[in-house]
């Protein structure tokens, strides 16, 4: 299996095919890309252009826009033009929510990637008696899906654009549901059916997502997808996300549990954290997950002890001050420790350490070496001086 568990302290990422989304490449060893979706009405061009720019400026590398109708698809032309001419070429994705081929075809002209949901390519009448589909029925619907999808696949292929096959646990097509159940297997088979159609048309610029609001289901579906792709000799990159994760702390934890677990196994090439909050709130969560796993380094890494009876200063407050003074410096690792009782090794290879020394004094460390003892009230200032003396400071 290509599920890779870290043995040397570094995550071994599963090798995937590079897939273009405008100027960003997903997979192929490229950094795990961060994406989100604006929640403006796409018909409100001013608001959509501003929202795309706002998200991109804070690190959203791929921006998705909903395209529920032909008018929305046409609006993408102006939105893209305005974003590109007044700002920069942001990689754009159109989310096409149903099997409206004409809408998807129009959107494909104006964006870099079209997201489709296999569960919405439904041609059968609901079987109210829940009888199983015969193979003939199953295949006949498969043929109709293929006919419907073909022009979109050909258009994206000929423009060297890409497609996301985005399966949702909550919207599996009935025939998948009746054949495989409401299961990770049903999700994987839904994706594979669409992959096969694309491959038969020589289109390989695909990314796959298998999302669920239930974290164990989302994790199993992605693991199973990797296993099936390995068996079939496929290596499409995966887009990870937990749908309807909610808001606040629990929404973040739920997303991290799902996305982080898979990333730690080397699975996942792009992520979206879906929060019931402004999309801007999702981006720092994405970067924190990637930083915590050592997959991307975009912030200062802070190491801090939890404090205890030995703590010689107000650790929470000092950590806050140190963070406020230094969080604009990327690539540094700074430790704030209540005391040195367990040795500098506890600072986990920090570049700098701020450590309780004795009542009223702290010690500053460079790596594992104690540099100087300073009165506590000058601690943060002296830490900055030390970083400056080492030439590693930049003004905020
Ligand atoms: Fe307590 Fe010192 Fe450990 Fe912090 S580093 S938790 S103060 S023993």
pLDDT digits (tens, 9 = 90+) for 294-307: 999 999 999 999 88
In ligand 1, which atom is closest to the CA atom of 311? 7
Residue holding tokens 């909550």? Answer: 170
DSSP-based three-state secondary structure for 181: coil
Same domain, 92 and 142: yes
* Mean pLDDT across 355-372: 92
Whether 341 is in the pocket of ligand 1, judged by its Cβ within 6 Å, is yes
CATH number at residue 252: 3.20.20.20
Contact 76, 111 (CB under 8 A): yes
Distance 359 CA to ligand 1 centre (A): 14
> Is 4 marked as a binding-site residue?
no
Angle between helix 184-200 and helix 135-158 axes, rounded to 10 deg: 60
Q: pLDDT per residue over 85-138, tens digit each?
A: 999 999 999 999 776 789 999 999 999 999 999 988 877 777 777 777 888 888
Same domain, 179 and 246: yes
Whether 314 is in the pocket of ligand 1, judged by its Cβ within 6 Å, is no
Q: pLDDT per residue over 308-322, tens digit each?
A: 888 878 899 999 999
Distance 358 CA to ligand 1 centre (A): 13
Distance 7 CA to ligand 1 centre (A): 28
Residue 346 forms part of a structural domain: yes
CATH number at residue 322: 3.30.413.10
Residue 5 forms part of a structural domain: no
More confident residue, 281 or 358: 281
Distance 327 CA to ligand 1 centre (A): 23
- Supply the pLDDT for residue 55: 97
Whether 337 is in the pocket of ligand 1, judged by its Cβ within 6 Å, is yes
Extract long-range pairs of 345-352: CB within 8 Å, 24+ residues apart.
346/305, 347/303, 348/303, 350/303, 351/392, 352/383, 352/386, 352/387
- Supply the pLDDT for residue 344: 74
Same domain, 59 and 146: yes
Radius of gyration of the chain (CA): 25
User: Which of 229, 264, 292 is the endpoint of a domain?
Assistant: 292
CA nearest to 272, candidates 322, 317, 207, 329:
207
pLDDT-based confidence at 238, cuts 50/70/90? Answer: very high
Residue 394 forms part of a structural domain: no
Same domain, 159 and 305: no
Contact 161, 153 (CB under 8 A): no
Same domain, 79 and 32: yes
- Supply the pLDDT for residue 215: 97
Whether 303 is in the pocket of ligand 1, judged by its Cβ within 6 Å, is no
Q: Whose CA is nearest to atom 1 of ligand 1?
A: 308
As a whole number of angstroms, the distance between CA 357 and CA 341 comes to 10
Same domain, 101 and 135: yes
Whether 305 is in the pocket of ligand 1, judged by its Cβ within 6 Å, is yes
As a whole number of angstroms, the distance between CA 144 and CA 98 comes to 15
Boundaries of domain holding 384: 301-389
Same domain, 167 and 307: no
pLDDT reading at 8 higher than 80: no
As a whole number of angstroms, the distance between CA 297 and CA 305 comes to 21
- Supply the pLDDT for residue 396: 86
> Is 198 marked as a binding-site residue?
no
Q: How many domains does the chain have?
A: 2
- Supply the pLDDT for residue 159: 98
User: Which of 292, 321, 344 is the endpoint of a domain?
Assistant: 292
Same domain, 150 and 43: yes
Q: pLDDT per residue over 45-95, tens digit each?
A: 999 999 999 999 999 999 999 999 999 999 999 999 999 999 999 999 999
pLDDT reading at 1 higher than 50: no
**Average pLDDT of the chain?**
92
Q: What is the pTM of this model?
A: 0.90
> Is 301 marked as a binding-site residue?
no
Q: CA angle, corner 166, sides to 185 and 200, nearest 5?
A: 80
As a whole number of angstroms, the distance between CA 100 and CA 68 comes to 9
User: Which of 292, 321, 354 is the endpoint of a domain?
Assistant: 292
DSSP-based three-state secondary structure for 209: strand
Residue 10 forms part of a structural domain: no
Residue 173 CB contacts under 8 Å (≥ 6 apart), including other chains? 118, 119, 120, 121, 122, 190
pLDDT reading at 232 higher than 70: yes
Same domain, 186 and 148: yes
């Amino acid at each position: 299996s290509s599920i890779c568990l870290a043995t040397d302290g570094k995550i071994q990422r599963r090798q995937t095919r590079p897939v273009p989304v405008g100027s960003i490449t997903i997979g192929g060893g490229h950094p795990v890309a961060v994406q989100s979706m604006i929640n403006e009405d796409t018909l409100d061009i001013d608001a959509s252009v501003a929202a795309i720019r706002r998200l991109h400026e804070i690190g959203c590398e791929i921006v998705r826009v909903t395209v529920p109708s032909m008018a929305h698809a046409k609006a993408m032309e102006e939105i893209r033009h305005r974003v590109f001419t007044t700002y920069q070429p942001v990689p754009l994705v159109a989310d096409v929510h149903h099997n409206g081929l004409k809408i998807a075809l129009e959107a494909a002209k104006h964006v870099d990637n079209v997201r489709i949901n296999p569960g919405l390519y439904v041609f059968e009448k609901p079987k109210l008696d829940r009888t199983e589909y015969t193979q003939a029925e199953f295949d006949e619907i498969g043929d109709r899906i293929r006919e419907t999808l073909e022009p979109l696949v050909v258009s994206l292929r000929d423009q060297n654009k890409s497609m996301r096959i985005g399966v949702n646990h909550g919207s599996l097509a009935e025939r998948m549901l009746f054949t495989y159940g409401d299961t990770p297997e049903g999700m994987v088979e839904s994706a594979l059916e669409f992959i096969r159609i694309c491959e038969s048309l020589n289109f390989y610029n695909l990314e796959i997502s298998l999302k669920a609001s239930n974290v164990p289901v989302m994790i199993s579906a992605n693991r199973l997808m990797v296993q099936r792709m390995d068996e079939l000799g496929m290596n499409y990159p995966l887009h990870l996300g937990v749908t309807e994760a909610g808001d606040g702390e629990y929404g973040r934890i739920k997303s991290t549990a799902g996305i982080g677990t898979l990333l730690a196994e080397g699975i996942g090439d792009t992520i979206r954290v879906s929060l019931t909050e402004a999309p801007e709130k999702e981006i720092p969560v994405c970067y924190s997950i990637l930083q915590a796993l050592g997959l991307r380094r975009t912030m200062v890494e802070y190491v801090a002890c939890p404090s205890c009876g030995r703590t010689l200063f107000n650790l929470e407050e000092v950590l806050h001050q140190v963070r406020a003074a230094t969080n604009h410096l990327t690539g540094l690792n700074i430790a704030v420790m209540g005391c040195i009782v367990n040795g500098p090794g506890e600072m986990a290879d920090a570049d700098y350490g701020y450590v309780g020394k004795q009542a009223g004094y702290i010690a500053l460390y460079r790596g594992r070496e104690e540099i100087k003892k300073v009165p506590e009230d000058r601690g943060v200032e002296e830490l900055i001086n030390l970083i400056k003396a080492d030439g590693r400071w930049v003004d905020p």
